Amino acid sequence: MKHTKGSIEVVTGSMFSGKTDELIRRLRRATIARQKIQVFKPAIDVRYAVEKVTSHAGPAYDATPIQYAKDIREKLDADTTVVGIDEAQFFDDEILSVTRELAERGLRVIIAGLDTDFRGEPFGSMPVLMAQAERVDKVRAICMVCGEEACRTQRLVNNQPANYDDPVVIVGASEMYEARCRKHHSVPKRPEN
């Protein structure tokens, strides 16, 4: 079954907010609708399974690990109608042209990724993807300090907040990250603007 028009959908938020759960939910619905689906994820994300997108809560969906966004073009089957992309913040800027091309060809592109890094700053190409998307859903986690809604990802090093100048990309899960609200998100050594 072919779509009548292409689109880009972005599901974003902090870690532990359910982004991948929502991506998988939409993919399963597309499967029920007899759509041809392909899912891609960054090869550096090996937290749970190499050839699956897996949420922290457990649900999983088969996926193809790739190094670069351009690899989507090379690995895309001619009859695919829905493309899922997990952890999009880790891809190079070519993800912008790839997703735009797919949508212009009539495909439904569903993207999940962090909107901000551990410092609370825009992460990779996600801000542009959100601006180019027809639909953006920002999901929330629960703050591990106070239990309120969380919108930030806190990286911890030896149970203390990571410093601003620490590396931006370190793939991990609950052993080094927590969801936090704005009040309880801390980034020591942040430069004053």
The percent of residues above 70 in pLDDT, for the chain, comes to 88
106: confidence class by pLDDT, cuts 50, 70, 90 = very high
Domain assignment present for residue 145? The answer is no
Note the pLDDT tens digit of each residue in 22-43: 999 999 999 999 999 999 999 8
Q: Could you say which of 87, 104, 121, 149 is catalytic?
A: 87
Domain assignment present for residue 179? The answer is no
Is 178 considered catalytic here?
no
Q: Is the pLDDT of residue 48 over 90?
A: no
Q: Is the pLDDT of residue 120 over 70?
A: yes
User: 166 or 184: which carries more pLDDT confidence?
Assistant: 184
Q: Is the pLDDT of residue 180 over 60?
A: yes
Domain assignment present for residue 181? The answer is no
Domain region containing 25: 7-140
Taking residues 109-118, what's their average pLDDT? 97
pLDDT score, position 176: 87
Taking residues 90-110, what's their average pLDDT? 97
The percent of residues above 90 in pLDDT, for the chain, comes to 77
Taking residues 77-86, what's their average pLDDT? 97
User: 4 or 155: which carries more pLDDT confidence?
Assistant: 155
Q: Is the pLDDT of residue 58 over 60?
A: no
Domain assignment present for residue 67? The answer is yes
Mean pLDDT, the chain, rounded, equals 90
Q: Are 85 and 19 in contact (CB under 8 A)?
A: no
Q: What is the domain-level CATH number for residue 77?
A: 3.40.50.300
Q: Based on the structure, what is the number of domains in the chain? A: 1
Residue 71 burial (CB < 10 Å; 0-12/13-18/19+)?
A: middle
Least confident of 65-79, 127-141, 154-168: 154-168
Domain assignment present for residue 155? The answer is no
Task: Report the relative pairing of strands 7-13 and 108-114 from DSSP bridges.
Answer: parallel
Domain assignment present for residue 157? The answer is no
Can you tell me the distance from the alpha carbon of 59 to that of 84, in angstroms, rounded to the nearest whole number? 15
Residue 104 burial (CB < 10 Å; 0-12/13-18/19+)?
A: exposed
Can you tell me the distance from the alpha carbon of 124 to that of 140, in angstroms, rounded to the nearest whole number? 20
Domain assignment present for residue 173? The answer is no
pLDDT score, position 167: 84
Domain assignment present for residue 90? The answer is yes
Q: Is the pLDDT of residue 133 over 80?
A: yes
